[in-house]
Amino acid sequence: MSMAKPNLEAREKILAKLRGRELVNCFQCIKCTSGCTALKLLELKPHEIIKLVNLGFVDELPSSDIIWTCVTCLKCVQRCPQKASPYHVIMALRNIAVEKEAKVPEGYLKAVSQILETGLIETPKKIVTRKMETVDRDCLKLPKINPPKENFQAVFTKTMEEK
Amino acid sequence: MSLREVLPKFDIELVDLRESVCCGDPIKSVNNFTAVYLGARVLALASLTGLDDLLVPCNRCHFTISEANDTIKNAKTGEKIKTLLREEGLEYNPNIKIWHTIDLLHDLVGLKKIKKAVTKPLKGLKVASHEGCQIIRYSDLGRVDDAENPKKLDELIIALGAKTVDYAEKLDCCGSALMYSHPDSALSLAGSKLKAVQNLSVDGLVVSCPDCQLMFDARQKDAGTTVGAKLNLPVVYYTQLLGLALGIEEKKLGLYLNQSPADQVITKISA
């Protein structure tokens, strides 16, 4: 077994995605982890992620399931006294996981293809009421949902190439 | 539906966008640039209407579009986004004000006007409120209420003659974002909060975000199974309560569409 080595180049890549948020100022006060919604169920420890990124131990993180357990409640961004913002670090790591073609929860990949196809994350559905009556947008007299114009797909695909 | 019914009562006219498109929220995890593009695209579509105000009732959409708007201030990213929008024949408009149901009603319409418009006060109704996460955090971005002690939704409920309760789990998340990757954990978060609220012996839970509503209302049975609790808690939108207090027919407010026992609320206020 070999010891993990810091990867400073990969670390820079993460920092570049944070647009000036001062990660190095983190002094491990653990305010983020103590208030973390995901900690209760899934043992996400945001302060550990910040520490690992600061030290450059970033190769394992994008392929770890832990980065996909964040609920995005934003309490850590709000409460961080040093503006290190674990949420944004986790989002950057998720983006890198996609770039590296690491294992990404299927739901997210489905979302991409769904938006590309229809412009929406989910197509409008029929629902069954408490009295077992089936209703849809038409019978509720809600306005029609228009799909995006043609050029949307081409531009959307272009934006996905941006790293 | 209830939003479309209540806003005209306060002389607010709603105009639908040319097309319905994703705000970019789920794409943030995949490619942040694309998410910013989609958020900016909503603002550009809003600009096509010739109006300066955009109402975004969903907390996550509100956050994603607000953060996109902030990211565009960065000259390099902003230029790239604007160029791409032009390829779609769209133009980014920095002057659009992004509203949420809560600040639109609380700050723009105002509690006084709402109180005055109430024809059927919701006397005797006691509810818990849930403002949600992304609408109150993070403050640096400019959010609609205080991050740690949100009060606006409670004040809006009290304006209708109902009572609210303060409770320990008030800031707990509905779990919705985990539905993409860890659905059981998502339902467990929703279930724990519902269980706590049910134990308060209130008449219901009031939300304003459609994503939170989906978790607490439509997925209530699944959430109950996940946490091993028998849940039977009415979950309603604030605008549904507001509509009832304004004397609008319950059918028009879509109360029969809630999957949770919303009729309990109606029974309570007509008692």
Q: What is the pLDDT of residues B47-82, one digit of tens each?
A: 999 999 999 999 999 999 999 999 999 999 999 999
DSSP state of B156: H
List pLDDT tens digits, range B160-171: 999 999 999 999
In the predicted structure, residue A146 carries a pLDDT above the cut 90: no
CB contact under 8 A, A72 and B261: no
Mean pLDDT of A13-17: 91
CB contact under 8 A, B20 and A119: yes
List pLDDT tens digits, range B231-267: 999 999 999 999 999 999 999 999 999 999 999 999 9
Give start and end residues of each alpha helix (H) in chain A. 8-17, 31-35, 37-42, 46-55, 75-79, 86-99, 106-118, 151-161
* Nearest CB partner across the interface for B34, out of A119, A131, A160: A160
Does 1.10.1060.10 match the CATH number of domain A8-99?
Answer: yes
As beta bridge partners, residue B130 has B207
Domain residue limits, chain B? 2-99, 101-270
List pLDDT tens digits, range A48-61: 999 999 999 999 99
List pLDDT tens digits, range B88-129: 999 999 999 999 999 999 999 999 999 999 999 999 999 999
Mean pLDDT of A19-46: 90
* pLDDT for the residue numbered B42: 97
Q: Which helix (H) or strand (E) holds B117?
A: helix B111-117
* Nearest CB partner across the interface for B256, out of A104, A131, A154: A131
| Contact yes or no for A31/A80 (Cβ under 8 A) | yes
- For A145, which residue in chain B has the nearest alpha carbon? B20
Domain residue limits, chain A? 8-99, 106-158
* Nearest CB partner across the interface for B21, out of A108, A120, A162: A120
A-B C-beta contacts closer than 8 Å: 154
pTM given for the model: 0.96
DSSP state of B106: I
Question: C-alpha distances in angstroms, B65 versus A50, B3, B41, B190?
Answer: 26, 20, 9, 25
Cα B170 to Cα B130: distance, rounded to the nearest angstrom: 6
Q: Are strands A127-128 and A134-135 parallel, antiparallel or unpaired?
A: antiparallel
Minimal CA separation from A23 to chain B, in Å: 17
Residues in chain A closer than 8 A to B30 (CB atoms): 94-95, 98, 104, 108-109, 111-112, 160
Mean pLDDT of B177-190: 96
Cα B64 to Cα B40: distance, rounded to the nearest angstrom: 9
* pLDDT for the residue numbered A2: 60
In the predicted structure, residue A131 carries a pLDDT above the cut 60: yes
Could you tell me the two tokens for B186?
Answer: 């998502």
Pick the CATH number of B2-99 from 1.25.40.10, 1.20.1050.140, 1.20.210.10, 2.70.98.10: 1.20.1050.140
Q: Which of B4, B5, B16, B22 to mutate to probe the A interface, most A CBs <10 Å?
A: B22
Rounded to the nearest 5°, which phi and psi values hold at A127? -125, 155
Q: Which fold has domain B101-270?
A: Rossmann fold (3.40.50)
Percent share of chain B, pLDDT over 70: 100
Cα B168 to Cα B75: distance, rounded to the nearest angstrom: 43
* pLDDT: which is higher, A122 or B227: B227
